[in-house]
A = this chain, B = another copy of it.
Amino acid sequence: MVEIAPRLARQIAFIAECDKLKEIFRQTINSQSRRPENDAEHSWAFCLCVMVLAEHANVPNLDVLRVLKMGLIHDLVEIDAGDTFAYDTAAVVHQHDREARAADRIFGLLPEDQAREFRGLWDEFEARTTPEAKFAHACDRFQPMLLNARTQGGSWRAHHVTHDRAQVRGAPVADGSVVLWEAIEQLLREAVAAGHLAPAPAPSQP
């Protein structure tokens, strides 16, 4: 009878802990049931975007494996820190501190070498300096924008987001993929034309 080795036991404990990601709900809603999307579903959809759209990255020869690994783990910190709605400017202020503490605890469940690797991937994602991190962020923003576009405005409407604010939110997509940013610009224009996204407010009169 073989006992589970301590290294594998730590890996299994980490995987079991990560199951909690399925209960962290986002502001975006799924296209069929119209219920809120959870982080596990988002992480899968993010990775599917990476797999399908990698050719549109600004750089050739992207390390797709590293982008997928970032996609799989990028939201695990929300198990402790919760989802921070992108348009909630107050909550965004302390977001990184809360998430860094969560990263210490959650990745710390893994064997040491893997804890370092996973933390490194998350730090790389957060820093947004490598081509892989930039493309990962492009997919992280493209995916909910597409979902909003396919749900008659989804979380834009629920939170009274206007065209100009959605553009500011989406703009970093261009750092990873100009092609995807142009696609988002068109989705936003179509959403405004269809009445699913409010136009930018008129500038106030002097």
Q: Which of A's residues lie within 8 Å of B, judged by CB? A: 1-4, 8, 11-12, 14-16, 18-23, 30-33, 37-38, 40-41, 43-45, 47-49, 51-53, 56, 64-65, 68-69, 72-73, 110, 114, 143, 146-147, 150, 179, 182-183, 185-186, 189
Contact = CB atoms under 8 A, between A and B. Distances in A.
- How many copies make up the complex? 2
Contacts of A21: 44
Most buried by B among A20, A37, A183, A185: A183
Contact of A30 (B23, B33, B52, B143): B23
Chain A contact residues, majority secondary structure: helix
Contact of A41 (B1, B4, B8, B22): B22
Given A30-B23, A33-B22, A65-B65, A15 B114 contact: no
A47 B47 contact: yes
Contacts of A3: 186
Contact of A18 (B4, B37, B40, B48): B48
A114 B52 contact: yes
A186 B2 contact: yes
B38 A20 contact: no
A23 B3 CA distance: 38
